Structure 1
Amino acid sequence: MPTIRRRTYSRYTDDSLALLGKMIRLGRLQHRLTGQELADRMGVSRSTLQRVEKGDAKVEVGLMFEAAALVGIKLFDTDEKGLRALAGRTDDRIALLPRHVYKGRKLVNDDF
């Protein structure tokens, strides 16, 4: 029987997802939405919303962002217009960088 490998995430990633899930739950409760109401607005099942609120790393990032948006959590420190402007500026910065990254061929001896 083949061994099933589970994807592991860094502690920072796990903690960040757990925090986002808790923030989504808090936002839902503050907006006085039931779990089923928010799940319906997201277009997902109640069990998927429960996974979102637990910070499950296997939930699509789009669902996490949609849940956050629906309960008023700002993921970036800007509004929708500012978010598009920031994305444009980031595209400009990416355009200035090389298209490909190549591994260096020199071995660096850093034993001092």
Structure 2
Amino acid sequence: MTKKTLAMFPTALKQLADLGERLRLARRRRSIGTELFAERMGVSRETLRRLENGDPTIAMGTYLRALGVLGLDGDVDAIGRDDVLGRKLQDLELSRSKT
């Protein structure tokens, strides 16, 4: 059986491309070459190239390792921290259940 890959929304592809570019810029600001960065991440230079190009098949763990090598892994903790929409939906449901 072949592996099926789901298509991604264009906005998600753009976000991945933008994230890859930000990681590339962060690496370059630190004067870390691709060979050294890939080695520190434990990936091939080809995988690093794909990551920096926003390839949607790159595993989330690989992005996390890149952020860790760059010292930016604390930024991940901010994702979804303040779930405004979720809280509004929860409050709406709680107000409905009182009646």
Q: Give the TM-score range, shorter chain.
A: 0.5 to 0.7
Quote the sequence identity (%): 30
2:13 & 2:31 partners in 1: Cα distance? 27
5+ unaligned residues in a row in structure 2: which ranges? 82-89, 91-99
Instruction: Tell me the TM-score normalized by structure 1.
Output: 0.60
Name the stretch that deviates more: 5-14 or 48-57.
5-14
Counting helix residues as a fraction of each chain, which structure ranks higher? 2
- CA deviation digits over 1:65-85, x for unaligned, max 9? 21122223323439xxxxxxx
What RMSD in Å do the two structures reach over aligned CA positions? Answer: 2.5
Is the contact made by 1:22 and 1:53 (CA closer than 8 Å) also made in structure 2? yes
Larger Rg belongs to: 1
Aligned to 1:27: 26
Gaps of 5+ in 1: 79-85, 87-96, 98-112
- Residues 28, 34 of structure 1: 8 Å contact kept: yes
Q: How many equivalent residue pairs?
A: 78
Greater length-normalized contact order (CA 8 Å, ≥ 6 residues apart) = 2
1:51 corresponds to which residue?
A: 50
